[in-house]
Amino acid sequence: MCTRYTIVSSVKAIEREFQAEFQYSFQKAYNAHFGMELPVIRAGFEDKIVALRWGLVPYWAKEPNLKYHNINSPAGNIVKSPLYRVPVRRRRCIVLANCFFSWVLVEKGSKQPFVVFDGKQRLLSFAGIWDSWMNEGRSKIIESFSIITTHSNKRLKKFNKQMPVIIPPGRRRKFLRPATPLNEIMRMLRPLESNSINLYPVSTAVNDFHNNTREVVMPVGQRQYAEYSYVPKVYLKLEGMGSMKDNLDRKPEIKIMI
């Protein structure tokens, strides 16, 4: 599952990474959630970043009510489901993010939120689908999206069973290309197998989606996996997550740079 994520990089950094330009006034989202207007790039319009509402409303729905609040689309069901089978063929998109949140069950049944990020990619691109709904009089149009999810990779599966599909930079254009065959698209809907995936605990402030501040990504503990380099001393700056100074004699410390 992916129920919350963060996109807080500068407009310049986002446009440079994706070779696309914003078509609206972008606002940072530390605690992106259902119903928010968030940045995506749609198939066929790879040079434009637009704002769509998170929570897929299918074009055939009679009303855009809470019955259709599909923030996630399971990859295993995406070809057959009436909700997803048309969008995955014709209306794919990538969802721009710095990191996402995952809740891990701890003692006494409580859940600890974690930030999950890829240390080698400043910006992530989640595989997504979108759709356009309009009322009978065509006076109201809602363009919305859903994030495609799959089973977790080796590093995350002990924390959570599902994760968003992350499209590597070299495959973004292929995923968005309308002419890409469906069987090739399906092969992309797999977990990102990468040792750079890491996570650290954050406060429960993220549980309240009204908390859309830097506080929700501040660490309250160490990263779960050590991040070492062949170079003894190197600073790794992660927009949205922080920087870390490698030291082979102790665990890495987290310094938030947001």
Domain extent listing, the chain: 5-220
Contact 140, 56 (CB under 8 A): no
- pLDDT score, position 112: 94
- pLDDT score, position 21: 98
- pLDDT score, position 121: 64
195 sits in the region (left: phi over 0; alpha: psi -120 to 50; else beta) called alpha
- pLDDT score, position 257: 39
Residue 153's alpha-carbon distances to 58, 142, 240, 258, in angstroms, are 30, 34, 22, 27
CA distance 49 to 67: 28
CA distance 127 to 188: 9
- Tens place of pLDDT for every residue, the chain, 258 residues? 799 999 999 999 999 999 999 999 999 999 999 999 999 999 999 999 999 999 999 999 888 876 667 999 999 999 999 999 999 999 999 999 999 999 998 877 789 999 999 877 679 999 999 999 998 877 899 999 999 999 999 999 888 899 999 999 999 999 999 999 999 999 999 998 878 789 999 999 999 999 999 999 999 999 988 875 443 333 334 444 544 444 334 444 444 434
The number of residues making up the chain comes to: 258
- pLDDT score, position 170: 93
CA distance 229 to 154: 21
For the structural domain made of 5-220, what CATH number should be given?
3.90.1680.10
